[in-house]
Amino acid sequence: MAKIKPTIITTPRIVQPRRHGALWLWLLFLVALSLWSWQVFRLGENSGGFDGAKRDSIEASLNQRIEDLEKQKMALTAQAARFERAAQIDREAAEQVKGEVRSLQEERATLKREVAFLKALVSGEASEELKLEAPKLVLVDGREYRFEVTLAKRAEGDDTVSGRVVIHVIGKSEGAEKKLDMEALTDGKRTNIGIRFRNFQKLKTDLKLPEGFDPSKIEVAVEPNGNVYKAFEQAYDWNVSDA
């Protein structure tokens, strides 16, 4: 009986395909696609007349121009501020000079009135009479005025004059003659001006005219106490002075 040889069975190996080749193909494809896209882009630029270098040069020039204009703007702003400050100083100096001139004019006018009054007082005849001197009416604001007048004795003496002075303003309101007293002219603040002096006294009060009232005269009534000096009235035209 013949020997049966055993059969050796060999299992075949499965060979895995290498993927490195496919990966390199994809990379080459992407590189080629990028180069192709870049070439198409450059071709479009050249066809359209676009010059990148020229664009960069123009942009740089414009940026430099903007920077120069900003510097000029800052310099002009600083110069304008200096000019404005100098103009403000000039205006303040001019206003100060105007104020000093007005003050000197008022002082001069006051001195002139006092000198005229003293001359009249010295040269006047001795009597037991009172006299109003140097009336002055100035505009304060809107329809508000300041009235000043000096009341004095026409004779020397140590006796004291006392009493009161009442002021009225005569004019027209809605076509009708009207006489306003001090209570109406001062918003109820006062009805008269008290007097008490040996030689003279300056009388001063602010008068506010109502709307629609047209003044024509200002009337001053002097009412001294006692029987030594007589009461009297003096009327002045409504003339507003500058100082």
pLDDT of the residue at 10:
57
**Does 122 have pLDDT greater than 80?**
no
Q: Return the ∠ at Cα 114 (arms to 113 and 119), rounded to 5°.
A: 100
- In the chain, what percentage of residues exceed pLDDT 70? 77
pLDDT, greater one: 183 or 24: 183
pLDDT class for 120, splitting at 50, 70, 90? Answer: low
Which is nearest to 126 in space by CA: 156, 160, 161?
156
Residue type, 223: E
How many whole angstroms separate alpha carbon 127 and alpha carbon 122? 12
pLDDT of the residue at 125:
44
pLDDT of the residue at 163:
96
How many whole angstroms separate alpha carbon 206 and alpha carbon 182? 10
From 14-18, 178-182, 227-231, the region with the lowest mean pLDDT: 14-18
pLDDT class for 126, splitting at 50, 70, 90? Answer: very low
CB atoms within 10 A of CB 118: 14
Measured CA distances, 161 to 116, 156, 173 (Å): 22, 12, 37
pLDDT, greater one: 116 or 213: 213
pLDDT of the residue at 191:
94
How many whole angstroms separate alpha carbon 89 and alpha carbon 24? 83
Per the confidence metrics, is the pTM higher than 0.85?
A: no
Which is nearest to 196 in space by CA: 146, 153, 235, 133?
153
Strands, E assignment, 92-212 = 130-141, 144-153, 161-173, 176-180, 193-197, 200-208
**Does 237 have pLDDT greater than 60?**
yes
pLDDT class for 210, splitting at 50, 70, 90? Answer: very high
Question: What value does the mean pLDDT take over residues 107-136?
Answer: 68
Residue type, 154: R
**Does 121 have pLDDT greater than 70?**
no
29-83 confidence digits (pLDDT tens): 788 888 787 777 666 666 655 566 777 788 888 888 888 888 888 888 888 888 8
